């Protein structure tokens, strides 16, 4: 089918992230015109269930007029203000207070940025700033994990443990050290329980710290659930085991809640679901239900005090963004959190999550599926060529991407991830009826995918 005028204009002018830009010239973009609730509508009026909340972010769905009204009123009243050189405004103050209220650990100060990448970049700088302030300038290494995703700036992309974020960018930088991704399905030894696997990973982390030198490690960063790395849930006892290792060396934990924050896992924050207490936290995405760009770093009282004292010695805290703490996104984010509280969004997630879990769990019996994982309204399915032997498909066959393409044709937006995993992350406001419709559409996509895989000879069926 020839490209529409809008598609041609896009191809000629827009550089698209995470896209094969050569193939894109032939396919063009899928252009959306409007959204309401969990549904999006394209140029022709076809509806899609947006089962990824955009990019894991539009928690309240589309068409939330209350947030639009808050943004408009704030723009009329005070369209821009910054936080540099002691300036401030009510939306930033009120949002910082609200974040301290809902945070699952004691928070001293809140630093505002515009994206998760900027916030995690800030986390690195704060870790280094604090190390220098403490008189331990050798503490500059940050431990991350393979398959982790922490952003795309030069520094935050270095924390990201995905090869395509490094290739041809001369990354990662040398300050990052990677420990093993906690993927039980792929990495556990034969007969090893989840608890035993977690203990082994904690041992590997300890060995890494010893090999590098504990006095060179500034912090470790982790997502409660690995998101863009495949929606990989931690095995039983994982965070308890690694936190014991970090605590034994006095190494801070940076909690990246960009995806898991604000109810996604059935609690306000993922660290509550997996029962660990961080030293600092990164939040973004659902902070404003993605209606406007905003992110934040939540600092412990101790870290806040160290940063303040060092700025006194230097004469300034030489870090910040022009739009960090912008009054309009702050006002929208504050109202977003108030809506989460007023509508008991966390309670709603807990109410509908069993239906989501029940529907996604059924795919474990599908011939193409090797693993299914879910928590709250977050799920992942791994596709395999051989279920019994857990043999993956060849990367070039693009099986997950092909099935996600079928799903799009059936009216559901999903995302293929590395390792032929398919991610699900619907808006937190989704109803049980909408969950049923989502999976009815995906059922059709999987049936088409199985037929395609068998015709192409991609699947190893049991003899």
Note the pLDDT tens digit of each residue in 121-153: 999 999 999 999 999 999 999 999 999 999 999
Angle (nearest 5°) at CA 398 between 149 and 361: 70
Cis peptide before 243 (omega within 30 of 0): no
Specify the 3-state DSSP secondary structure of 324: coil
Residue-by-residue DSSP string for 385-410: SBTTTTBPPPGGG-HHHHHHHHHHHH
pLDDT band at 187 (very low <50, low <70, confident <90, very high): very high
Of the candidates 196, 244, 195, 237, the residue with the CA atom closest to the CA atom of residue 220: 244
Domains in the chain: ranges and CATH: 31-63+344-456 (3.90.1150.10), 66-342 (3.40.640.10)
CA atoms of 153 and 257, how far apart (whole Å): 18
User: What's the pLDDT band for 463 if we cut at 50, 70, 90?
Assistant: very low
Any bridge partners for residue 62, and if so which? Answer: 37
Residue 18's contacts (CB-CB under 8 Å, 6 or more residues apart) are none
In whole angstroms, give the CA distance from residue 264 to residue 292. 19
Mean per-residue pLDDT over the chain, rounded: 97
pLDDT value at 178 more than 60: yes
User: Is 70 exceeded by the pLDDT of residue 461?
Assistant: no
Per-residue pLDDT of 367-418, as tens digits, reads 999 999 999 999 999 999 999 999 999 999 999 999 999 999 999 999 999 9
**CA separation for the pair 156, 172 (Å, rounded):** 9
From CA 259, how far away is CA 251, in angstroms rounded?
23
| Whole-angstrom distance, CA of residue 34 vs CA of residue 6 | 15
Rg value, the chain, Cα: 22
């Amino acid at each position: 089918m020839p490209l529409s005028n809008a598609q041609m204009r896009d191809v000629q002018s827009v550089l698209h992230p995470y896209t094969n830009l050569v193939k894109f010239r032939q396919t063009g973009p899928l252009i959306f015109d409007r959204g309401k609730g969990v549904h999006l509508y394209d140029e022709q009026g076809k509806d899609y269930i947006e089962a990824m909340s955009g990019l894991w972010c539009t928690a309240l769905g589309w068409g939330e007029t209350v947030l639009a009204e808050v943004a408009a009123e704030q723009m009329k009243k005070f369209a821009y203000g910054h936080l540099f050189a002691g300036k401030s405004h009510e939306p930033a103050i009120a949002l910082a207070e609200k974040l301290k209220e809902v945070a699952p650990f004691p928070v001293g100060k809140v630093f505002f940025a515009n994206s998760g990448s900027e916030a995690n970049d800030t986390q690195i700088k704060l870790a280094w700033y604090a190390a220098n302030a403490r008189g331990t300038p050798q503490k500059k290494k940050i431990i991350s994990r393979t398959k982790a995703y922490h952003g795309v700036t030069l520094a935050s992309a270095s924390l990201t443990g995905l090869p395509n974020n490094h290739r041809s960018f001369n990354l990662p930088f040398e300050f990052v050290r990677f420990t093993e991704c906690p993927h039980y399905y792929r990495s556990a030894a034969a007969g090893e329980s989840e608890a035993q696997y977690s203990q082994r990973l904690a041992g590997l982390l300890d060995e890494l710290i010893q090999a590098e030198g504990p006095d060179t490690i500034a912090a470790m960063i982790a997502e409660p659930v690995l998101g863009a790395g495949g929606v990989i849930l931690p095995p039983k006892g994982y965070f308890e085991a690694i936190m014991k290792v970090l605590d034994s060396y006095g190494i801070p934990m940076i909690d990246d809640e960009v995806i898991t924050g604000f109810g996604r896992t059935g609690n306000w924050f993922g660290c509550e679901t997996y029962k660990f207490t961080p030293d600092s936290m990164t939040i973004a995405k659902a902070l404003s239900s993605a209606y406007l760009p905003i992110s934040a770093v939540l600092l412990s009282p101790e870290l806040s005090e160290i940063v303040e004292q060092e700025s006194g010695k230097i004469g300034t805290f030489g870090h910040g963004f022009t739009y960090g703490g912008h009054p309009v996104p702050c006002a929208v984010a504050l109202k977003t959190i108030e809506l989460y509280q007023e509508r008991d969004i966390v309670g709603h997630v807990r109410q509908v999550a069993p239906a989501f879990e029940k529907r996604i769990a059924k795919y474990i019996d599908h011939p193409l599926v090797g693993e299914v994982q879910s928590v709250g309204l977050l799920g992942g399915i791994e596709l395999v060529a051989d279920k019994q032997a857990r043999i993956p498909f060849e990367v070039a066959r693009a099986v997950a991407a092909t099935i996600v393409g079928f799903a799009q044709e059936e009216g559901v937006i999903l995302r293929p991830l590395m390792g032929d995993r398919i991610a699900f992350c619907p808006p937190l406001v989704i109803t049980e009826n909408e969950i049923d419709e989502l999976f009815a559409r995906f059922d059709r996509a999987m049936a088409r995918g199985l037929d395609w895989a068998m015709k192409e000879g991609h699947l190893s069926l049991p003899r």
